[in-house]
Amino acid sequence: MQATTPVDPRVLDAMLPFYLSRYGNPHSRTHLYGWESDAAVEEARARVASLVGADPREIFFTSGATECNNIAVKGVMRFYRDRRRHVVTTQTEHKCVLDSCRYLQQEGFEVTYLPVRPDGLVDVAQLADAIRPDTGLVSVMAVNNEIGVVQPLEEIGRICKEKGVPFHTDAAQALGKIPIDVNQMGIGLMSLSAHKIYGPKGVGALYLRRRPRIRVEPQMSGGGQERGIRSGTVPTPLVVGFGAACEIAAKEMDYDHRRASVLQQRLLDGIRGQVDDIVINGSMEHRYPGNLNLSFAYVEGESLLMGLKEVAVSSGSACTSASLEPSYVLRALGVEEDMAHTSIRFGIGRFTTEEEVDRAIELTVHQVKKLRDMSPLYEMAKAGIDLKSLSGVGEDISVNHVIVLSRQSASIVHLFTCQVASSQAGN
> Catalytic residue positions?
319
Burial of residue 425, with CB atoms counted within 10 A of its CB: 0-12 exposed, 13-18 middle, 19 or more buried: exposed
Residue 20 burial (CB count, 10 A): 9
**Residue closest to 317 by CA, chosen among 137, 196, 158:** 196
Contacts of 131 (CB under 8 A, 6+ apart): 88, 138, 159, 160, 163, 165
**Residue closest to 101 by CA, chosen among 121, 124, 76:** 76
**What DSSP element (H or E) covers 346?**
strand 343-347
State the virtual CA torsion across 226, 6, 302, 423 in degrees, nearest 10.
-10
Burial of residue 227, with CB atoms counted within 10 A of its CB: 0-12 exposed, 13-18 middle, 19 or more buried: exposed
Q: What is the CA radius of gyration of the chain?
A: 25
Cis peptide before 56 (omega within 30 of 0): no
SS3 for 278? strand
52-58: long-range contacts (C-beta < 8 A, 24 or more apart)?
A: 52/171, 52/175, 52/180, 52/181, 52/182, 52/190, 52/192, 52/207, 53/180, 53/181, 53/182, 53/183, 53/184, 54/182, 54/207, 55/210, 57/210, 58/182, 58/207, 58/208, 58/209, 58/210
